[in-house]
Amino acid sequence: MAKGSDGEGGVRRRDLFKSAGAAAAASAFLNPLRAFGQEAGGGTGTPSVGPGPVEIALDVNGGERKLAVEPRRTLLDALRGDMDLTGAKRVCDRGTCGACTVWMNGKPVYSCMVLAVEAEGSEITTVEGLGTPDNMHAVQAAFVAEDALQCGFCTPGFVMSCAWAVKEHGTELTDETLRESVCGNLCRCGTYTHVVAAALSAARAAEGE
């Protein structure tokens, strides 16, 4: 899974901060900076940005969003603070709980571990983009039907991980595959059994479509 610190396309925020200005960080920032022509001159080839805001554009839930963010701002904070999309939750803010899970280019990521500038040009799907209260995604409806939440704080993240598993595996989704797909999500209320039941129910519903 692309989610988290070391997955494909992921950059560990802690490491990124530690190596700011170093070649590794420069490489990680290369694409967004090039996209906006903000690479530093001087012939070093090392881009420099900030500390002021950088303009980025993202496709969020099917619509283009342009915003200016400081290079240190996470995708999670940009979604919640700048775009008023508060479905993804900030719980651990260090890539361990999964409450902030969104899809980036169709794959689940911990949005607290992705810098907003790193997501420039990407397609982002949040739980708000998956369905609405009047027109819920099959997984969202299954969470309600299977009583797969208690306090609900982990729920948006679980829904995004489960919906990805259903999207990827459809009717082939098994109990074991589902458990692997949500292994990066934690629930302090212990709803795991109901979460698994909901996801498998949604996968079975897809079979009848």
- Examine residue 9 and tell whether it contacts ligand FES (CB under 6 A): no
Based on the shown chain and the rule CB under 6 A, indicate whether residue 1 belongs to the binding site for ligand FES: no
Q: What are phi and psi of 31, to 5 degrees?
A: -60, -50
The binder of ligand FES chosen from 44, 151, 183, 193 (CB under 6 A): 151
Does 143 help bind ligand FES (rule: CB under 6 A)? Answer: no
**Footprint of ligand FES on 85-124 (CB under 6 A):** 90-93, 95-100, 110, 112
187 is a site residue for ligand FES (CB under 6 A): yes
Taking the least distance from each CB to ligand FES, the nearer of 92 and 136 is 92
**Cβ of residue 118: shortest distance to ligand FES, in angstroms?**
15
**Which chain residues interact with ligand FES by CB under 6 A?**
90-93, 95-100, 110, 112, 149-155, 187-189, 191
